[in-house]
Amino acid sequence: MPASNAIMIDREGAATRPRFPLRRSLGSLVRSSEAGLKASHFRRPWLAGGLVAPQLLILLFFFFIPTWKALSLAFVQVDPFGGTMIFVGLDNFTTLFSSPEYRDSAILTLWFTVVQCIATLVVAGLLAFATDNVMRGRAIYKGVILLPYAIAPAISGVLWAFLFNPTVGPLAQMLHELGFAWDPNRRPFDALLLVSVAAIWKHVCYDYIFLVAAFLAVPPSVMEAAAIDGARPVRRFLTVTLPMAAPTIFFLIVMNFVYGLFETFGIIDTVTRGGPAGSTNTLVYKVYQDGFRQLDLGSSAAQSVILMAIAVLFTFLQFRAVERKVNYQV
Amino acid sequence: MVERHIGLSIFCHVVLLIGAAAVCMPLYFAFVAGSLTVGEVQQVPFPLVPGSHFVENTVLAWNEGQFSRLYVNSLIVTIGIVTGKLAVSLIAGFAVTYFRFPFRMTAFWLIFISLMLPVEVRIIPTYEAVADAGGPLRALFDAIGLTGFIADRTGYRLDAALQWNMINSYGGLILPLIASASATFLFRQFFLTVPDELCEAAKLDGAGPLKFFWDVLLPLSRANIAALSIILFLYGWNQYLWPLLFTTEKAMATAMIGLKDLIPVADAQPAWNIAMAASFFVMAPPALVILLMQRWFTKGLVDSSK
Amino acid sequence: MASTYVKSITGLFAAGALLMGATGAHAADRVKIEWWYAISGKLGDTVQQLISDFNKSQDKYEVVGTFKGNYEETMAAMVAAYRVNQQPAILQSAERGFMTMLNSGAVIPVDQLMAKQGYKTDWNDFIKPVAGFYIVNGKPAALPFNSSTPILWYNADAFRAAGFDAPSDTWQGLEKQLYALKEKKVTDCSMALPGDFQWSLIENYSAINNYPFATKANGYAGLDTEFTYNKTGVVGQVARLKKWVDDGVLKIAGQGVAPISLFTSGTCATIINSTASHSGVEADAKFKWSAAVMPHEEGADVRNGTIGGASLWAVKGKSEEVQAGVAAFFNFVAQPDTQEWWSKATGYVPVTNTAYRKMKAEGYFKDHPTREIAIEQLSRGEPTDNSRGFRFGNHNQSTAILIEEIQAVWTGKKTPQEALDNSVKRGNEILRQYEKLHAGK
């Protein structure tokens, strides 16, 4: 056994010493904490610094500095060319908070992101489970299911909008024949549904790839042991595969959340343009519209600050709440 | 699998068939659209079977958009992005999970925060960063007086030398897109699942961290690297806004810009057939990557002794 | 006018003569002039043709045109580039962005540029609403380039089948006809609603019927303008459109289709769309079609329509040589020959009266009568304060708000009056913001 058996492995798979568990706080950000650190690790601060430096440097030049420039505009009203600028303090923020459209957009975003996150995971999980359990044709299925990921985003959005266009879309006609009064131009729910389905469709492949990899990584020996114990395939999946895939699932929850919150504006833009009447106008689409389209740099910077704060908060909570339950060392 | 359940197998096949159909359905319509003439593509009801003009439209689209050069650009930029991101994220993920050093968690959160801001908001200042990459350095050196110091002593103008304009260069197209945390996060998750015994064994053997990384961790990460390569290749290949902003010369444009150029706008004739046909050959390299990289999944994953 | 023509020819010869001294001016010696434009596809090809024609016509300058995305993307690229001194020499910008460009401090007004470079351009030759849109202190600040106006396209076969020779020229008359088309089962969709309906069916409607859209002559007389369209016939217009939508007579085009294709495919019998759709309609409509001016309200004081499209701006911060080249290019674009060729190839209106008369004299409009309709609609009568055009700061933003509010009428969430009231309220906030930022300009 390793010499360091004074160190115990706790539920989080991290090394702890028998101590009072009271330090789970923001202080852990600054102090070197044990969260996410391998029990068996190296102590070479200079080497570590060198390894992490390239990413941090690139981020510094191409993320942090531009972000600072962009977000500092939250406190001004500015002409897009930079010629005229007046300081308005927190006006941009108060205007946003007092605007009913913004509040509606925030609630909508919450629903949309959560639904999209769960649905994508479930659909991808089902497909990955099925892929894992078929005897033949695995490669073909994998190839086919991953294809939508290769489509240019601009094209896929247009395809969905077209297919379900109530006047000319073939699938819309099918829905009409089945008796549904499908009209995303006049029924906000239909528009939201369409956008959600399009977003999920595009992102299922992402989750699918990683889940397939995670399920395949379950050692056959463990599965055999479970089978010998009399567990049937579904039960094996639930009690063995899923827990072992937990780190990947946690990764995907966070990434789905980020996708729904930040990267869906392209789809919203081509499928509904935020309509009708703002019913698919998520926060990020508002930022895109105001900042990039309308060039209202002050308001969009303020909106981005709020959006960023929400995202950081939620991710932090996810790390705290969910990651505890993720067992990294099985 | 351990035993065979016919019922389960059938169920899985059904699920996969439905999934595959749902997934491919829009693609099928794109194919149909790409095989019609301009007049036919506007007709209502939309035809459900393909026409006969697919090859013709493809050739037309290729020539109209001058895709040969665009293809090369896209390939160079995308491969640059994939290799850059993989390299940078692998070592960063390694550092953050396998080393104890001050500000370790801060570094992780700093990297992670870069996921939390939509691109469009910072795209204009990022343009400034690309057009004037030396800007922050110049400002820094100016503020601490280094520029003046050197200029007085040797007459060398440091600030003139720090003028790096990366517009219309491959560097300008690649670097801003490497800076993202998703890959680092993934590797962090994966490295945390690697058994500690491996690292202990390496240490006992007297191997340093880099040797451990190269000989043990990398081979283990093959499946994740394969998955990530696919994701990153597609991410890089499908970029539109960054290349649009960062290139002013047609010779440096990417395939995605060429494709967008073919998509009909308000006043023009709705030549959707050309655009859809083009979307297929623009989709070909990513599709190829997907099909090829797939093998790595099955290969590197039969790890009985992880 | 003739003077411009003579001046430019002499200018070209002079330039050419000068260059003859430096024999065989290399392409590499030419002054490069960057132009960012925002139209793609076939229209983009026409732009490239225009550029190469200019480059071939003289030795001194070389215009290099780059497609930078749609109008908004091009504008964003311009803003980004300007901040780091990477801007182009010429920018194509939509009419909606006029105030943004004008007050940016980043442009040289076109009349100043041309005067400085010695070109005598007759600005009065430009078709009134076209020039009027871009006029500041009596002279245009930007060069009108691709201008269009909405006209009523109709399926003549369908109308005949329902017993009508042509569309009525009033909204009331048209309503009867559209309902008849549907009731007689000639078609299921009498009219298609395009995505830019706020331009054709609200703004142009307001101008044609001489209703005020906002105070202070629609913004021309000052930044302290306020929207007033919630108090005019526009309310009735929105109510009328809502009724048509509910009755299935008017179908919303939505996303994923080019609205004009609803017409050319024969699905919808009419559409009010830009005159620039000519090339598409001529090529793809397989039935007898025609076009007419937009209808007006019964008993209204009928005026001209307003324009859409874009103009060319000369951007500051370039060398003298480049500016001279920009002026030369603008001069080339404004030539009647160029205008004629451009209009025929694209379907946009010729922006000068000279070009228009030239085309008329050649009998072009006898062969293509529908192409003249847009010009008729634009040249009808003297523009009033209500029909000259619109001059609002951040017009993009208030337009987006207007569309959003009217969509709430389609979904039934708001009545037309409520929606327009809210749109005016939010729009006025935008105007006040702009006024505050640009006080004293």
Q: What whole-number percentage of chain C has pLDDT above 90?
A: 64
Contact A202, A287 (CB under 8 A): no
The pLDDT score that the predictor gives to residue B298 is 52
Residues of chain C contacting residue A185, judged by C-beta atoms under 8 Å apart: 252, 254, 407, 410
DSSP string, B54-98: HHHHHHHHHHHHTHHHHHHHHHHHHHHHHHHHHHHHHHHHHHHHH
Q: How many residues does chain C have?
A: 441
Residues C260 and C348 in one domain: no
Q: What is the mean pLDDT of chain B?
A: 84
> Please, what are the domains in chain B?
6-115+180-304 (1.10.3720.10)
Residue B131 at interface with chain C, using a CB cutoff of 8 Å = yes
Most confident of B201-210, C92-101, C249-258, C422-431: C422-431
Residues C80 and C110 in one domain: yes
Is C12 within the bounds of a domain? Answer: yes
Rounded mean pLDDT, C333-353: 90
> What are the tokens at C288?
């007898």
Is C388 within the bounds of a domain? Answer: no
Is C378 within the bounds of a domain? Answer: no
Residues C271 and C360 in one domain: no
Residues of chain A contacting residue B9, judged by C-beta atoms under 8 Å apart: 133-135
The pLDDT score that the predictor gives to residue C326 is 94
> Please, what are the domains in chain A?
2-80 (no CATH), 93-325 (1.10.3720.10)
The pLDDT score that the predictor gives to residue C441 is 64
Q: Do A145 and B115 touch (CB under 8 A)?
A: no
Residues C245 and C294 in one domain: yes
Smallest CA–CA distance, residue C93 to chain A, in Å, is 13
The string of pLDDT tens digits covering residues B38-61 is 888 888 778 888 888 888 889 988
The pLDDT score that the predictor gives to residue B297 is 57
B234 to chain A: nearest residue by CA? A150
Amino acid at C419: A
- Res. C288 pLDDT band, cuts 50 70 90: very high
Residue B205 at interface with chain C, using a CB cutoff of 8 Å = no
Is C383 within the bounds of a domain? Answer: no
Q: Do B209 and A42 touch (CB under 8 A)?
A: yes
Nearest neighbour of B192 by CB, restricted to A127, A152, A247: A247
Smallest CA–CA distance, residue C440 to chain A, in Å, is 12
What Å distances lie between residue A89 and A74, A76, A93, CA to CA?
Answer: 8, 7, 9
What Å distances lie between residue A121 and A129, A323, B179, B294, C74, CA to CA?
Answer: 12, 17, 26, 21, 37
Rounded mean pLDDT, C16-43: 66
pTM of the model: 0.86
The string of pLDDT tens digits covering residues C363-378 is 999 999 999 999 999 9
Residues C31 and C102 in one domain: yes
Residue C210 sits in a domain whose CATH number is 3.40.190.10
Residues C32 and C132 in one domain: yes
Contact A145, A127 (CB under 8 A): yes
Residue A153 at interface with chain B, using a CB cutoff of 8 Å = yes
> What are the tokens at B44?
């209502």
Residues C242 and C262 in one domain: yes
- Spatial CA neighbour of C187 closest among C179, C195, C198: C179
> What are the tokens at B83?
């290799």
Residues C120 and C16 in one domain: yes
A5: three-class secondary structure by DSSP: coil
How far apart are the C-alpha atoms of C153 and C208, rounded to whole Å?
17
Domain boundary residue, one of C365, C382, C405: C365
Rounded mean pLDDT, B144-169: 80
The total domain count for chain C is 2
Q: Do B122 and A70 touch (CB under 8 A)?
A: yes
The pLDDT score that the predictor gives to residue A235 is 84
The pLDDT score that the predictor gives to residue C310 is 92
Rounded mean pLDDT, C77-82: 88
How far apart are the C-alpha atoms of C115 and C119, rounded to whole Å?
6
Nearest neighbour of C84 by CB, restricted to B128, B260, B271: B128
Task: State the best of C190, C241, C407, C432 to mutate against chain A, taking most chain A CBs within 10 Å.
Answer: C407
Q: Which chains sit next to B, with 3 or more Cβ pairs under 8 A?
A: A, C
Cite the beta strand spans of B24-176 per DSSP E: none
The pLDDT score that the predictor gives to residue C412 is 93
Residues of chain A contacting residue C251, judged by C-beta atoms under 8 Å apart: 166-167
Contact A149, A205 (CB under 8 A): yes
The string of pLDDT tens digits covering residues C45-58 is 899 999 999 999 99
Q: Do A48 and B104 touch (CB under 8 A)?
A: yes
Going by the DSSP 8-state scheme, the letter that residue C276 receives in this structure is G
The pLDDT score that the predictor gives to residue B263 is 81
The pLDDT score that the predictor gives to residue A322 is 75
How far apart are the C-alpha atoms of C147 and B236, rounded to whole Å?
37
Residue A122 at interface with chain B, using a CB cutoff of 8 Å = no
C185: three-class secondary structure by DSSP: coil
Q: Enumerate residue ranges in chain A where pLDDT < 50.
A: 1-33
Residues C139 and C161 in one domain: no
Is C381 within the bounds of a domain? Answer: no
Q: Do B128 and C73 touch (CB under 8 A)?
A: no
Is C168 within the bounds of a domain? Answer: yes
Residue A5 at interface with chain B, using a CB cutoff of 8 Å = no
The string of pLDDT tens digits covering residues C167-222 is 999 999 999 999 999 999 999 999 999 989 999 999 999 999 999 999 999 999 98
Q: What is the sign, positive or negative, of the torsion defined by CA atoms of C9, C11, C13, C15?
A: negative
The pLDDT score that the predictor gives to residue B266 is 64
Q: What whole-number percentage of chain B has pLDDT above 70?
A: 93
Residue C345 at interface with chain B, using a CB cutoff of 8 Å = no
DSSP string, C364-429: HHHH-THHHHHHHHHHSS---TTTS----TTHHHHHHHHHHHHHHHHTTSS-HHHHHHHHHHHHHH
Q: Which chains sit next to C, with 3 or more Cβ pairs under 8 A?
A: A, B
Find the domain containing C79 and state its range. Answer: 2-148+308-365
Amino acid at C374: A
The string of pLDDT tens digits covering residues C154-163 is 999 999 999 9
- Look at the block and give the residue holding tokens 């044709």: A137
Rounded mean pLDDT, B158-172: 81
* Inter-chain CB pairs, A–B, below 8 Å: 351
| Cα C38 from chain centre | 13
- Residue B22: CB partners within 8 Å, gap ≥ 6? A201
Burial of B134 (0-12, 13-18, 19+ CB in 10 A): middle
Rounded mean pLDDT, C326-347: 92
Residues C170 and C266 in one domain: yes
Is pLDDT above 60 for C124? yes
Is pLDDT above 60 for C8? no
- Look at the block and give the residue holding tokens 């006209």: C151
Residues C316 and C300 in one domain: no
- Look at the block and give the residue holding tokens 């095989």: B35
A293 to chain C: nearest residue by CA? C72
The pLDDT score that the predictor gives to residue A19 is 40
Sheet bearing C268-274, strands edge to edge: C250-252, C189-193, C268-274, C150-155, C289-292
Rounded mean pLDDT, B278-288: 89
Is C317 within the bounds of a domain? Answer: yes
Nearest neighbour of B128 by CB, restricted to C83, C276, C286: C83
| Cα A294 from chain centre | 26
Smallest CA–CA distance, residue B260 to chain C, in Å, is 8
Rounded mean pLDDT, C424-441: 89
Rounded mean pLDDT, B271-283: 88
The pLDDT score that the predictor gives to residue A72 is 87
Residue B136 at interface with chain A, using a CB cutoff of 8 Å = yes
Smallest CA–CA distance, residue B162 to chain A, in Å, is 14
Residues of chain B contacting residue C45, judged by C-beta atoms under 8 Å apart: 64
Is pLDDT above 80 for C60? yes
The pLDDT score that the predictor gives to residue A105 is 93
- Spatial CA neighbour of A267 closest among A175, A208, A191, A170: A191
The pLDDT score that the predictor gives to residue B151 is 79
B120 to chain C: nearest residue by CA? C76
Nearest neighbour of B100 by CB, restricted to A43, A169, A311: A43
Residue B43 at interface with chain A, using a CB cutoff of 8 Å = no
Residues C209 and C339 in one domain: no
A300 to chain B: nearest residue by CA? B121
